[in-house]
Chain A
């Protein structure tokens, strides 16, 4: 059995091509819509009746927002990072819910597709350097890539070394999230596949137990990967806000 069979996407609603782009709707798109709708509904319900003493769903949302503000913004970027709180918060919650949607049977994990994570990483890339250029001006921002006190002859070489590093950051962000989600779901699939392969009541309980353990581990990893994606993005944006190293 091909372990990657479940990760191939098949169009469910066919739409006409726009040039080379195929906008057909598949399971990943629907899962992403469900995740987006869930995030919207939860945050909308929580912010409708805001009270000083949180009640009901406001508790849940307030914990997330405060965690993101204290850990990512104030902890890494400092006070100057406050305008970027909505961006980091959206990234964190969206990736978290996308990861969680894969644990519902019948759904697809949008983040186990390299194109989804790649899009998110490219967005972080443009936001990072856009903020740097807007805040410091293009010349001063790119000058900040070279450490202070470096001899003038060495500065261009260091600048050239920094260019691949700037492109490697979004690449590693995308591959890390994608491969983590893919690996976790392949592990679940292999345990489930054992039941079908052996067709024996004596062996069946062990894969079920393994599957439950991996699922609990996945529940942890969904939050952890969203955390890592958001914290690395805020590190990069924090570097840009403070004008390089």
Chain B
């Protein structure tokens, strides 16, 4: 196989895996925070801020993969 084709497949596979895992974990995070603020509506503001920070940390992982995938594809 051509090295360029391997790079394309590797980039696509990496991005797909990262999107799957990070999408699942952000969904899990949102579910937990919605449950938390439904039980305690007065704590909703703090829970929302914490959720956005945690979502940003999770998202960073998929963005690292995105950068690596871009580097692989446009090599």
Binding site for B on A (CB under 8 A): 2-4, 71, 75, 172, 175-176, 178-180, 182-183, 224, 227-228, 231-232, 235
Contact = CB atoms under 8 A, between A and B. Distances in A.
15 contacts: A2-B74, A3-B74, A4-B74, A75-B49, A172-B60, A175-B60, A176-B56, A176-B63, A179-B67, A180-B59, A180-B63, A182-B70, A183-B66, A228-B53, A235-B53
A22 B24 CA distance: 44
A175 B56 contact: no
Interface of B: 49, 52-53, 56-57, 59-60, 63-64, 66-67, 70, 74
A143 B66 CA distance: 37
Contacts of B52: 224, 227-228, 231
Chain B interface SS verdict (over half): helix
A179 B63 contact: yes
A235 B53 CA distance: 10
B53 A176 contact: no
Contacts of A176: 56, 59-60, 63
B64 A175 contact: yes
Nearest to A177: B63
A4 B53 contact: no
